Amino acid sequence: MAPAQDDIDALIADFQKSDKDEVETLIDDFSKQEGEKLEIEEKEETLLKEEAKDTEDEVAGEKLKGVRLPPQEHKVIDKLDEINKESEEKVNRLFEKLEAISAEVDEIEGLIEDIKPFVKKHKEFMDFFVEHFPKTSIKNNYEYFKNIMNILDEIENKVNSVRDNTFEAMEILQFQDITRQKIERVISVIQALRDYLNNWFASSYDNVPRARVAHTIVDEKEKEKVDKEVEEIIKQMQRGEVK
């Protein structure tokens, strides 16, 4: 006998129910398994991340190997200031030596000036003798004396040459001031970077009062041209041509 519709429906319902329970069980099992799987994956991921970090640190460490980070007291601006100060001190010492040479040269010149009138008088005296007593032995002495006079002139020339060279050396020392200002320009760039970074990280620091930084520093090759330009601008100003 064929089952009645009700029996079929009941059978289907039973099946569906049992199927649903089975599916639910399957889902539970699956979730459990997936959860476990996820847990494992998370653990694996963490492990991998840790491993990767270790590798990164290793790479970074490798990269920093051989790089000597500056010590705390080795701050760039302070160091550049120190270099400027030291160079100025050394140049001043050099200047003192040049001034001492110059003073000694002045003394030598003074001594030459002191003996010149005597030498001149002596020459006049000898000229007179040689002219009036040409056959006396004084004529030989006169020749020696003329040599001494030539040597004296030579000393005077050398003294002047030493003085000129000393002054020229002093002039060259202007490079120290120009170099100092070039370093000041570098410092200003570093300071601007420091300002930027300090603002970025909301930090604060003390500012040392500094000179206005030179905008243009003339290259030695252009100096002559610039000097001419300065002259021209001054003349234009005087003529009222520059507004």
Partner 1 sequence: MKIITIDDSSTMRRIIKNTLKRIGYGDEILEAENGKEALEILENNPVDLIITDWNMPVMDGLTFVKKIRSNSKFDDVPIIMVTTEAAKEDIITALKAGVNNYIVKPFTPQVLKEKIEQVLGLKD
Binding positions for partner 1, rule: CB under 8 A:
88, 91-92, 95, 99, 102, 167, 170-171, 173-178, 180-181, 184, 209-218, 223, 226-227, 229-230, 233-234, 237, 242
What's the chain's Rg over C-alpha atoms? Answer: 48
Q: Which is nearer to partner 1, 118 or 205 (CB)?
A: 205
Minimum distance from CB of 91 to partner 1 (Å)? 5
Taking the complex as a whole, the smallest distance from the CB of residue 56 to partner 1 amounts, in Å, to: 46
Tokens 């000694």, residue located: 104
Query: What is the distance between the alpha carbons of residues 150 and 143, in angstroms, rounded to a whole number?
Result: 11
Cα distance between residue 176 and residue 89, in whole Å: 10
- Of 77 and 214, which CB lies nearer to partner 1 in the complex structure? 214
Q: Rounded to an integer, what is the distance from CA 38 to the centroid of its chain?
A: 58
Q: How many whole angstroms separate alpha carbon 171 and alpha carbon 182?
A: 18
Instruction: Give the nearer residue to partner 1 in terms of CB position, either 55 or 165.
Output: 165
What's the min distance (Å) between Cβ of 103 and partner 1?
11
CB 110 within 8 A of CB 156: no
Tell me how far apart the alpha carbons of residues 34 and 231 are, in angstroms, rounded to a whole number.
89
* Rounded Cα distance, 226 and 218, in Å: 8
Minimum CB separation from partner 1 for residue 200, in Å?
27
Provide, rounded to whole angstroms, the least separation between the CB of residue 218 and partner 1.
Answer: 4
Contact at 8 Å (CB) between 23 and 15? no
Q: What angle do CA 113, 117, 121 make, to 5 degrees?
A: 155
Q: In the complex with partner 1, which residue's Cβ is closer, 37 or 97?
A: 97
Comparing CB distances to partner 1, the nearer of 95 and 142 is 95
- If the CB atoms of residues 95 and 129 are measured against partner 1, the closer one turns out to be 95
Taking the complex as a whole, the smallest distance from the CB of residue 137 to partner 1 amounts, in Å, to 47
Q: Which two tokens stand for residue 56?
A: 């990164």
Task: List the alpha helices (DSSP H) in the chain.
Answer: 5-64, 76-132, 138-172, 174-200, 223-238
At its nearest, how many Å lie between partner 1 and the CB of residue 177?
Answer: 4
| Amino acid found at 157 | N
Nearer to partner 1, 24 or 232 (CB): 232
